[in-house]
Amino acid sequence: MGFNEGSLWQQARQGEKRAFVEIYDRCYPAIFNYVFYRVGDRDQAEDLAAEVFIRMVEKLHTFQPGDRPILAWLYTIAYHLVIDFHRKEARATLVELEENDLSDPTYQPEAQIEERISQYQLVRALRFLNEVQRQVIVLKFVERRSNCEIGSLLGKDEGAIKSIQHRAIRTLRKSLEAEEQSYEPS
């Protein structure tokens, strides 16, 4: 965001390679995060994120920008891809611990395990939210976007985004508390 989307979009429609590259570089991280917190697997998230941009190339002509930013459209594409992914895989979005290369000198098992546990908890907690709440939480707390920015991406006003955010946090807190209680020895 923050770049001149209008001209970039026009250039992309003209088939200019540079425009596509710029859109990709700017939007890929956000799309990756979006996908990762729904899929729970980095490799899958990378593949799906790349697939989002291929779809963008294929369906460029169908997109009518209007007031919506390109990223919002890319989120929509990503949403449908994730749905398809879950249908095909028919599996829960559980984060699995990857096998690590023990020969890697930078490998720090404790730190990575701690990191993955927190990610695992967060992904599990996000499953209790609906699609809009999940998206707002990721945009707000992972991507650190302002409410105004989130409202623009999701096509909602700022007040609605705040309300969604509050409800999402309460739900998350309850779900995390319940999860902690289930782990405490009785």
Task: Give the one residue of 74, 78, 129, 137 binding another protein; rule: CB under 8 A.
Answer: 137
Region binding another protein by CB under 8 A among candidate stretches 25-33, 73-81, 99-107, 148-156: 25-33
Q: Give dist(CA 171, CA 174) in Å, integer.
A: 5
Question: Please, what is the minimum distance in Å from the beta carbon of residue 72 to another protein?
Answer: 19
Q: What are phi and psi of 136, to 5 degrees?
A: -65, -45
Count of residues interacting with another protein (CB under 8 A): 45
> Does 20 interact with another protein (rule: CB under 8 A)?
yes
> Does 45 interact with another protein (rule: CB under 8 A)?
yes
- Interaction residues for another protein, span 57-116 (CB under 8 A): 57-62, 115
Neighbours of 51 (CB within 10 A): 17
Question: Please, what is the minimum distance in Å from the beta carbon of residue 110 to another protein?
Answer: 14
CB 172 within 8 A of CB 123: no
> Does 14 interact with another protein (rule: CB under 8 A)?
yes
What lies within 8 Å, CB to CB, of 171 at 6+ separation is: 128, 129, 133
Question: Please, what is the minimum distance in Å from the beta carbon of residue 173 to another protein?
Answer: 6
| Residue 166: both structure tokens together | 């509050």
Give the Cα-Cα-Cα angle 84, 50, 52 (nearest 5 degrees).
50
Return the number of the residue (54 or 83) whose C-beta is nearest another protein.
54
Give the Cα-Cα-Cα angle 40, 35, 87 (nearest 5 degrees).
75
CB 108 within 8 A of CB 115: no
CB 6 within 8 A of CB 65: yes
Region binding another protein by CB under 8 A among candidate stretches 15-23, 68-76, 78-86, 149-157: 15-23
Site residues, another protein (CB under 8 A): 12-15, 17, 20-21, 24-25, 28-29, 32-33, 36, 42-43, 45-47, 49-50, 53-54, 56-62, 115, 118-119, 122, 137, 141-142, 144, 147, 162, 166, 169, 172-173, 176
